[in-house]
Amino acid sequence: MEQININIKHAIDLVGREAYEAVKPEVEAAKRHLVTGDAAGNDFLGWVDLPENLDPTIVGRIQADVARLAPKSKLFVVIGIGGSYLGARMVIEALQSEFASMVRGAHPYVVYAGHTLSEDYYSQLFALLDREDYSVVVISKSGTTTEPAVAFRLVKAHLENKYGRDEAASRIIAVTDAHRGALHEIGVQEGYPMYVIPDNVGGRFSVLTPVGLLPIAMAGYDIDRLLEGARDARRICLSSVPFDDNPALVYAAIRNVLYRGGKKIELMVSALPSLRYFAEWWKQLYGESEGKQGKGLMPHSISITTDLHSMGQYVQDGERLMMETMLLVKKPASHVAVPHDERNLDGINYLDGKSLTSINDCATMGTLLAHKDGGVPVVTIEVERIDEYTLGQLIYFFEFACGVSGYTLGVNPFDQPGVEAYKKNMFHLLGKPGF
């Protein structure tokens, strides 16, 4: 199969090859930390071998739950926040139609809860759930995180009211700790099917556990192919090929070099609106892994050509603090070409018969060159198409590069101490006992 292709030539010109060569030993040392587990955060390295080590019975269990619930569920509610929903949502939104809520397939349409406390959001969600048959997965290591705990209480009450307690229990799956915690205890008492979040895999690295696999399979996508793509990418990331043949090392190196050279913001750029949640997943992965001790590239994203007509002016001519990572996709899944118009009043007959992708590719390359000319270094990461296999490749590639990059930056890429700060204040303001 085609591998991920990284190209740094439009970035390295702006920092010089010497700086890039000089950082390589640090990046190789960072890779060794991941492999040997001899650095801070080494109790959260379970994701490194996950594509190979995943208990093979899990996929079968998931497929059995899909076969049981999909036929009686028009909707599937995924309750989770942060890493408990972003991985699944990223894969599902990349693969489904932009209009999937209105053009339904054989599998349930996935909706999300537990990622917000907006009162109107839940009111609107229940107006929908009143009308359509649904099932639920609740994803939480502890079961006490405020947002998903509140959402699960609400959804569970709605489901029991709609179907009665027994049928409701048969429509709920829990993904949680193997042995302890509130959600584990609720699941045991209620008899929910349960899946395990491994202790050594943090939320933002958990898409290839049941956290991501169950919702992705419920939406109708092939999780075997997803894991296969991840396995193939893992082989390359862990291999001892020359530095420049390992795309994860190249990406970790160039972004650290650009950061040291004064770039403070990294824009994830894609020409496909369906990759919107890919950028959101990536933002958590990199922002939460590296944004500590006053350091790190700030993750940001734009969609082209859409946002060239909103953020494009800033990227071209604003403060010179940005680097860009462009995610390029060679082939679309469908074919649409520009129709001919005899009168040509709009002046675009020179595009007659061209596929939209060929035009979009010229827009993307035109953007790359314009931004480079404007002083924005651009790294490109290219895959053949968007499907389960390539998404699996991208997941593992970006995870591995993130671990390498974080150690190169000099932080522990696997903790997130800053996430507690708002919670402490919130608990105090809410009058939670003990705060």
Residues 177-206 that bind its own copies (CB under 8 A): 182-183, 185-186, 189, 203-204
Catalytic residue (choose from 288, 324, 388, 399): 288
At closest approach, how far in Å is the CB of 347 from its own copies?
5
User: Which position among 360, 382, 384, 412 is part of the footprint of its own copies (CB under 8 A)?
Assistant: 360
Total Cβ atoms within 10 A of residue 160: 16
At closest approach, how far in Å is the CB of 154 from its own copies?
7
At closest approach, how far in Å is the CB of 244 from its own copies?
28
**105 burial type by CB count under 10 A (0-12 exposed, 13-18 middle, 19+ buried):** exposed
Q: Which among 11-19, 56-64, 230-238, 352-360 is the span making contact with its own copies, rule CB under 8 A?
A: 352-360
Residues 66-105 that bind its own copies (CB under 8 A): 81-83, 86, 97-99, 101-103
315 neighbors 377 (Cβ within 8 angstroms): no
Tokens of 126: 């229940």
Catalytic residue (choose from 331, 354, 423, 424): 423
Task: Assess 147 for contact with its own copies (CB under 8 A).
Answer: yes
Helix then strand then coil, in percent of the chain rounded to 5, is: 55, 15, 30
Q: Which among 5-13, 39-47, 206-214, 358-366 is the span making contact with its own copies, rule CB under 8 A?
A: 358-366
Q: Is 280 a catalytic residue?
A: no
Residues 375-434 that bind its own copies (CB under 8 A): 416-419, 421-433
CA distance 285 to 279: 10
CA distance 44 to 259: 25
284 neighbors 398 (Cβ within 8 angstroms): no
For helices 17-36 and 388-409, the axis angle rounded to 10 degrees is: 100
**162 burial type by CB count under 10 A (0-12 exposed, 13-18 middle, 19+ buried):** middle
Q: Is 354 a catalytic residue?
A: no
Residues 14-73 that bind its own copies (CB under 8 A): none
Exposure b/e, 376-394, CB count within 10 A at least 16 = b: bbbbbbbbbebbbbbbbbb
Q: Which among 47-55, 163-171, 219-227, 371-379 is the span making contact with its own copies, rule CB under 8 A?
A: 371-379
User: Which position among 37, 222, 359, 384 is part of the footprint of its own copies (CB under 8 A)?
Assistant: 359
Q: Is 424 a catalytic residue?
A: no
Total binding residues for its own copies by CB under 8 A?
133
